[in-house]
Amino acid sequence: MIVDYLCNAFTPDRRVVWQTAIDTAAPSIKIRANEFAEPAAMVARMDELGIDILLLPAVDVPDGVEPASTAFEAVAARWDEVEKLVARWPGRFAALSVVDPTLGMEGVRATRSRFESGFVVGCYLHTHSWDRRFDHADYYPYYALATECDVPIAMQAGMSGGTTASECGRPIAVDRAALYFPDTKFVLSHLGWPWIDEAIAMTRKHANVFLGTASWPPRRWPPALIELVQGDGIDKVLFGTNFPTVGHRQATEQARERGLDLGALGGNAYRAFTRLGAL
């Protein structure tokens, strides 16, 4: 029961989008360029590797975002794409509603309406698009909504991969939010690198804070994370790829090499994303 809590749009048309972003704004990012796939081929790959479900951040494309844009919206799934996936392969795909803090209560109401669809299981915050710390007031209405709807909010923590500021991704900033919203589940994604110790500290301190491994293949998991996964933090870590920055075959093979049980981490995903149980 392997769950990838964070997978970007994976169809072949997105390859040029990623390459454009890398060439113009994010030269340090590496992708699995040959692993984009049509939906049926992705499902076959999931079956082969024992992957139960992929969670896809989903957006409405704003005016002015071109198909080859470097904005996050260009690599995220479209709502109509996810709707087709869940209709064709029930239980294999789910959506995360992407947070836009600039929209105020209009955005909160729109997000609330998304949760009327059973395949929407949480929120995703692409932190560096907004340059706001996790304890910024603009996020608090979304945190309250997440509590009300019993869904988690995953957020990119750590350094930006492109030409946007990184300080907003400091994991320690979730501390105040986790205290103020004790019933909201927060998933610090991307390990919070280079502030991994901060991210692990928040995970250990707060019952409602989880750590997500997206963008980090198991071969590169640091000793502190291995200690957490193999010790008393086994129930606080979620497996993710952030495909295409990590490939699904790459991740599962490397996990086996290191003796890691991705199925156990999948159980954590079902506990954090409680709506998964109803798919």
Q: What is the CATH number of the domain that holds 190?
A: 3.20.20.140
Question: Residue 118 above 60 pLDDT?
Answer: yes
Task: Dump pLDDT digits (tens) for 62-81.
Answer: 655 554 445 788 889 999 99
Place of tokens 């986790």: 178
Return d(Cα 180, Cα 186) in angstroms, integer. 12
Structural domain harbouring 16: 2-278
Task: Dump pLDDT digits (tens) for 153-205.
Answer: 999 999 988 778 999 999 999 999 999 999 999 999 999 999 999 999 999 99
Return d(Cα 36, Cα 6) in angstroms, integer. 15
pTM given for the model: 0.95
How many domains would you assign to the chain?
Answer: 1
